[in-house]
Amino acid sequence: MSFFFRYAALSSIFLLTACSQGNLNPNYQVATSLPSYSQDDFQQYIDQTKQWLLENRVFKTDDIEKELQANLPFELIPEQPNGEAVILVHGLGDSPYSFTDIAQHLVAQGYLVRGLLLPGHGSKSGDLMLPTLEDWQQVLKHNIALLKPTVNKLWLGGYSTGANLVTSAALQDDSIAGLLLFSPAFKPESSAVKWAGLASYFVTWADQDPETNYMRYNSLPMHGAAVYYDTAEVVQDDLQEVTYNKPVFMMMSEGDRVIDRALPSDVFKNQFTNQNNHLVWQGEEDLGITNSTRFSMDLPDLHIVNGSHMGLLYSSDNLEYGQQAATIICNNGQDEAQQTACEQGEEIWYSSYGWQVPGKTLARLTYNPYFEESMAIMDQVMNSQP
């Protein structure tokens, strides 16, 4: 989950009150160590991660297996392989479930698909106090090294923080076939995030909320925000004065207030140079980018106000986040009265985090009404000839 949007509300980050490490809530406790991620094969990585989660995860429901499957690394093997593979990396506070619909689409096209679990995720929000930037970089680097010799082409895909990690990896490894980037968090919307590393010495938590969602964290330690910002600094440095000529598929929402939308747009237009690149843009503004497709998100018939950071990832049929969602995210940057109204079942409209519309109660938009159209465009990019 990408939590760094919360800093937009923190005008005085050092005025936050540090939370005690003695907090009795098990979600806010910290494991003694991170799980290993340097196994000799991917199934061993899954098996050992599962054992670690069984020992360290705070489960939200009685359905332990369902929660494990949402949070474990995964591998999908196609019935008709095309000889190519994709590694997918989720965002800050999220889980491999982020790519459940996109991965199913890719495997149906013949790709071997592997989803990684970034260290510090999948267990409890307190464990985001443990990972370093190197942990996140190395879990990706190791899995690239495992998979690359076994396939004809290897693609990297990432959402938000994951997009930063895969972009840096591809810029450093010319053998990567191309990139699939969803809400790339090259730069946060709020400039306050750059102080997260320093603030983490004084403030334990950037945000603490009830942990009710089995697919993502609702709370964020300051350390986790700081490591995200490390990924942003690295990818910005890696992108300095370089061009990338492999195919790139990118998706972003105009309404997204988590990330700075201008930097990825500029990078796409000026530094990603492959003629088959394509940017899918959810919004009303014309970006003036030739190889792009714009989908309007002014959709009153669906009670949609605008596109969101996370909504790009899920189809309207997704059982948890789709049009008939079992999970409604009412914590959407509104006041307490509006959040309560949402939770009590009043008429809901859907938007990006932090949006305000007079007279409307807003929940997070958690699905993509143009999912199939977007996947078809992604297929065209991936099927293009070098």
Query: Given a cut of 50, is residue 21 above it in pLDDT?
Result: no
In 3D space, the residue among 321, 318, 293, 317 whose CA is nearest the CA of residue 309 turns out to be 321
- pTM greater than 0.85 (yes/no): yes
Give the containing element (helix H, strand E) for 380. helix 371-383
Bridge partners of 180, per DSSP, are: 157, 249
- At residue 133, what is the residue type? L
Give me the percent of the chain exceeding a pLDDT of 90. 84
Query: Given a cut of 70, is residue 27 above it in pLDDT?
Result: yes
| End-to-end CA separation in angstroms for the chain | 33
Place of tokens 């190197």: 134
The tokens for 182 are: 């969803």
Per-residue pLDDT of 152-198, as tens digits, reads 999 999 999 999 999 999 999 999 999 999 999 999 987 777 777 77
Each residue of 334-348: b (16+ CB within 10 Å) or e? beeebbebbeeeeeb
Bridge partners of 363, per DSSP, are: 350
In 3D space, the residue among 154, 142, 166, 157 whose CA is nearest the CA of residue 45 turns out to be 142
pLDDT at residue 196, rounded to an integer: 78
Residues in Cβ contact with 248 at an 8 Å cutoff, skipping those fewer than 6 apart: 178, 179, 180, 181, 268, 272, 274, 277, 381
Mean pLDDT of 125-149: 98
Bridge partners of 154, per DSSP, are: 85
DSSP annotation string for 93-114: T--GGGGHHHHHHHHHTT-EEE
pLDDT at residue 386, rounded to an integer: 62
pLDDT band at 201 (very low <50, low <70, confident <90, very high): confident
Q: How many helices (H) and strands (E) does the chain have?
A: 10, 12
Three-class DSSP category at 309 = coil
Bridge partners of 157, per DSSP, are: 88, 180
The tokens for 155 are: 């693609």
The tokens for 109 are: 């096209």
Three-class DSSP category at 222 = helix
Q: Give, as one character, the DSSP assignment of residue 19.
A: P
Name the most confidently modeled range: 54-63, 334-343, 354-363: 54-63
Q: What is the mean pLDDT of the chain?
A: 92
The tokens for 24 are: 């009795």
Which domains does the chain carry?
A: 4-242 (3.40.50.1820)
In 3D space, the residue among 11, 12, 17 whose CA is nearest the CA of residue 207 turns out to be 17
Contact status, residue 101 vs residue 313, Cβ threshold 8 Å: yes
Specify the higher pLDDT residue, 53 or 385. Answer: 53
CA distance 311 to 258: 12
CA distance 7 to 162: 19
pLDDT at residue 207, rounded to an integer: 87
Each residue of 154-193: b (16+ CB within 10 Å) or e? bbbbbbbbbbbbbbbbbbeeeebbbbbbbbbbbbbbbebb
* Beta strands per DSSP E along the chain: 74-76, 84-89, 112-116, 153-159, 178-182, 205-207, 220-221, 248-253, 278-282, 292-295, 348-351, 361-364
Query: Given a cut of 50, is residue 16 above it in pLDDT?
Result: no
CA distance 71 to 69: 6
